Amino acid sequence: MSSPLRAFPLLCAALGLLAAAACGRDSGSTRVINIVTAPPGGSWYVMGGALASVINDAVPGVQAVAEVSGGAEENVRLVGTGQSNLGFVISKTALQGYQGLEPFAQPFSNLRMLLGNLDVGQIHVVVLDGSPLDDVCDLRERRVGVGPSGHGSLANLREIFSAGCGFTFDDIPPVYLPYDQALGALGDGRLDAAVLYVSPPIPAISEFGATHRFRLLPLTEAARDGVVAKYRYYLKTAIPADAYSGLGADVPVVGTSNGLMTSADVPEDLVYGITKATFENIDRFRSSYPTIADFSLEVAPKDGLIPYHEGAIRYYRERGVWPERGSDPGD
C-alpha cells in the first residue's frame, strides 16, 4: 500500500533526481539511492536519516535519501518491485514477502538482507493506570487501537492474539489509527487500549506518559509459549523497566528482530560499499537511536530468514564473521 506520507517524490522533483533515485541509477557522476523507513516519530525514520548521512559521507559517488513510508509491509513491496533500493523491515515480514505468504499476493524472491538483527520490535499494549485489564489476553471485546491500516505490524498482532490468546481481530474489533492518534483516543477515554509494535523506547509513548499515568500489559507465560511454539521467528523478550518513566518493572512480551533489506538487483559493489561504510562508522550509526546501541558486526549476518545480498556476504567474509555453513542462512 502506498503511503500518502511518502515525501520522496516531492524531494526528488525539487532536486531533479526522481527517476535516478527511484531506480538507483546514475545521475551524472552520482548514483542516487533511496531508503524507505516508516512514519515519522518511530525508530526507523530516525535510523534511516542517520544511515543516509553515513552513506553520503563515506560511499564515494553515492547520494542516499531517507524516505517516509507506511512501514515494513509497504517497504517489502517497494524494494521487491524495484521502487526503492533499501528498506527497514521486520524480519518475519521480509520472510512472508520472500515466500509470497499473506499479506502478500506474490513472492518477492529478489529480497535480500543486508543488516540483520538491528534491534527487536516488541508488542506494547498501553492502558491507563486505572484500567481493569491485567494482561494482553484481556483485550477480547475491548476498544483497541492497533495502528494504521496496512501497517506491517498488523500481521504480528494477529499472530500474537491468535496463537497466544485464542482470539482474532474480529473479537476486538480493531480501530485503525496512527500510534499518536490511538494514544490520544486512549487518553480521552475513546479506547480501552492502544497497541503498538515497536522497538522501545518510542517517543509517542514517552510523550503520552508526560500527561497520563499508564501501564503496559504483559503477555502471560502460557501466551508467550503459544506464540513461540507456532511461529519460529518470535522471541520471548521483555520491555525494560527503564524504557519509560514510571514503568517500575520489566514487562514480559514477545518480539521479532528488525533489519535492513535490499534487492538482488542492486549491484554487488554498491551493497558492499554500504555495508562497509556502516561498520566503519558504526558508533555514529548506533548513536542515532537507543534501540540499536548494541547492534554489532557479529550479529548482523545472523538473521537467517531470507538470503543475504552477495555484496553484504563479501564484506562479512572479509571481516571473518560470515557463518560458513555450506549455504546462505536464508536458504
Q: Please determine, for residue 180, whether its predicted confidence score (pLDDT) is greater than 70.
A: yes
Residue 81's pLDDT band (boundaries 50, 70, 90)?
very high
Give the per-residue pLDDT at 148: 83
- Cα(290)–Cα(278) distance, rounded to whole angstroms? 17
Pairing verdict, β 214-216 and 111-128: antiparallel
Give the per-residue pLDDT at 39: 79
What's the chain's length in residues?
331
CA dihedral 48, 51, 57, 60 (to 10 degrees): -100
pTM summary value = 0.79
Residue 124's pLDDT band (boundaries 50, 70, 90)?
very high
Give the per-residue pLDDT at 38: 87
Average pLDDT score over residue span 212-224: 98
Pairing verdict, β 30-36 and 86-90: parallel
Domains of the chain and any CATH numbers: 8-118+258-318 (3.40.190.10), 121-256 (3.40.190.10)
Q: Please determine, for residue 243, whether its predicted confidence score (pLDDT) is greater than 90.
A: yes
Give the per-residue pLDDT at 25: 53
CB-count exposure of residue 287 (10 Å: 0-12, 13-18, 19+): exposed
Give the per-residue pLDDT at 259: 97
Q: Please determine, for residue 53, whether its predicted confidence score (pLDDT) is greater than 90.
A: yes
Q: Please determine, for residue 74, whether its predicted confidence score (pLDDT) is greater than 70.
A: yes
Amino acid at 142: R
Average pLDDT score over residue span 83-112: 96
Give the per-residue pLDDT at 26: 56
Average pLDDT score over residue span 60-70: 95
Q: Please determine, for residue 323, whether its predicted confidence score (pLDDT) is greater than 50.
A: yes
Count of other CB atoms within 10 angstroms of residue 221: 10
Residue 28's pLDDT band (boundaries 50, 70, 90)?
low
Average pLDDT score over residue span 30-56: 92
Q: What percent of the chain has a predicted confidence (pLDDT) above 90?
A: 77
Q: What is the mean pLDDT of the chain?
A: 90
Q: Please determine, for residue 327, whether its predicted confidence score (pLDDT) is greater than 80.
A: no
Q: At what angle do helices 72-80 and 91-99 cross, to 10 degrees?
A: 40
Average pLDDT score over residue span 214-240: 96
Q: Please determine, for residue 40, whether its predicted confidence score (pLDDT) is greater than 70.
A: yes
- The residue among 260, 259, 136 whose CA lies nearest residue 196 is 136
Average pLDDT score over residue span 30-53: 92
The answer to which of 37-46, 177-186, 272-281 has the lowest mean pLDDT is 37-46
Give the per-residue pLDDT at 131: 98
Give the per-residue pLDDT at 55: 99
Q: Please determine, for residue 304, whether its predicted confidence score (pLDDT) is greater than 90.
A: no
Count of other CB atoms within 10 angstroms of residue 161: 26
The answer to which of 14-18, 42-46, 73-77, 311-315 has the lowest mean pLDDT is 14-18
Residue 24's pLDDT band (boundaries 50, 70, 90)?
low
